[in-house]
Amino acid sequence: MRSTVMLVDDEPMVALALRSFLELETSHRVLMFTSPAEALATLDQEPVDVIIADFMMPDMDGITFLSRARELRPLTTRILLTGYADKENAIRAINQAGLYYYLEKPWDNEQLKVIIRNGIERSALFTELDQRVSALEHANVELHGLRARLLQAFL
């Protein structure tokens, strides 16, 4: 199944450059947004594997956007793209948005490709882990029920 990468940048030129690269060099499905609010609305409807968001956006900054994205899709890998790296915001990004990677502009395409590939793998592993934990929890509930029924039958 094709992985989905969501790009969110108020600057269409950056989002278009990233999309051109990903479409040429990868088989990922790319969703591009210049409005964080629209990106969140889409995220509410469908899961994506990786989100790359710009930091400085006028309507909603990238950290706030990724924090909300985390609430909607906790298993999605979140990457912040920034032209304005400072320590305070980096710490805020890691703590608030549970960031996977903090990427500075101008970015390196080859590095970006590797980060995205690892990010997709990470999301897939988390999703699998989540499914296994759910299955275990379900099995555990069933076992408890069975034990209760057994006790009821024989005691």
Partner 1 sequence: MNESAVPHDQQMAEAITQARLATLGMMVAGLAHEINTPLGTLNSNHDVLRRALLRLQVILADEVVTPDELDEVRRVIAAVDSILHVNDIAVERMSALVGSLRNFGRLDRADIDVVDVHEGIDSTLAILAHELRGVTVERGYGVLPRIECHPQQINQVFMNLLLNARQAMPSGGTITISTWAAGPDVFVQISDTGIGIPAAHMARIFEPGFTTRGGRVGMGLGLLISRQIIDHHAGEIAVESTPGSGSSFTLSLPVRYCGAAGH
State the nearest-atom distance from the C-beta of 72 to partner 1, in Å.
24
Q: Which residues bind partner 1 (CB under 8 A)?
A: 11-14, 16-18, 20-21, 23-25, 56, 58, 83-84, 105-107, 109
Torsion, Cα 104 44 74 97, to 10 degrees, reads 40
CB 62 within 8 A of CB 6: no
Which of residues 105 and 149 has its CB atom nearest to partner 1 in the complex?
105
Which of residues 2 and 105 has its CB atom nearest to partner 1 in the complex?
105
Which of residues 85 and 94 has its CB atom nearest to partner 1 in the complex?
85
State the nearest-atom distance from the C-beta of 13 to partner 1, in Å.
5
State the nearest-atom distance from the C-beta of 54 to partner 1, in Å.
9
The alpha carbons of the chain give a radius of gyration, in whole angstroms, of: 20
